[in-house]
Structure 1
Amino acid sequence: MPHNPARLKVIDRAFALTVEVHRLAEQHADGLSARGPGLRSQMLRAADSVASNLTEAAAFDSPKRCESFLRVAIGSCNELELQLRLAVALCAFPDIANDWIDETIVVRKMIFGWRKYLQRRESNAGAVEPQTPTPTQTQTQTQTET
């Protein structure tokens, strides 16, 4: 069953992270442009991609379709983390960016948890419950063995 994106904490956190990365990039646009041409736009695209792909994932009932969007969101988290670290290392961002690196890691862990939930759900859907033999089956089996 598809999820309501407005009720998923991981999407709320990814959205808040995206907003903060946009604010940080706006406040330090000159430093980013001077130290890493293209870094700002890549960083913003990666941040946008995390929340967008999570929202897309929530729309699908199929675990496989949902997982494909979750994989993209995980990749975007990886990319965003690297770009934030690079901006800090190049002194384009203040140390406050380390808080957003930590938040990116938290969001990524939440996505992994969602993916693991889907994988468990899918593996349990294919499992067949052992059936308890009916009295007639037990009686027939006993007669066949003798």
Structure 2
Amino acid sequence: MKFAIAYFSETGTTKQAAERLGQVLKVTPLAIEATVPYTNADLNWQNDNSRANREQSGQATPPTAKPLTLPDFNVLFLGYPTWWGVPPMVIHDFLAHQTLAGKVVVPFATSGSSSPERGEAIIKQLLPKSDVKPAKRVNNFSVAQLKAWVQQLGY
């Protein structure tokens, strides 16, 4: 089984989870980045007019992701923070530019309070020809907890 990890992280929380998961899977996580980087003001969820809030609510042009070439893999672990209860819009663009038909995709999310099910449903809609596994919220998971999760998945 060949694994890949791609993640989007603006505050470092999802990056930390991806790095720990990388230790478990023995692969280097790859960062998904927005073509136009986010500023702190862009990410201010308390400001209805912040860039992220306007993008998530459909009031602004969705962001694009920088091109990212993934290594050869069978299983992609896809990490992202939860914004407005769902993956950031940049994930949509990233997935639109990947060839994932026939691949397994395992979403993992970080969030202060949101469960990952809505994000999982969106990923399944975006990837109808992929085997999307149940999403997992992995806030503050240790390497041991991530290893147990990967084993539960059968890997």
TM-score by length of 2: 0.22
TM-score by length of 1: 0.23
Select the structure that is richer in helix: 1
User: Who wins on radius of gyration, i.e. which is larger?
Assistant: 1
Select the structure that is richer in strand: 2
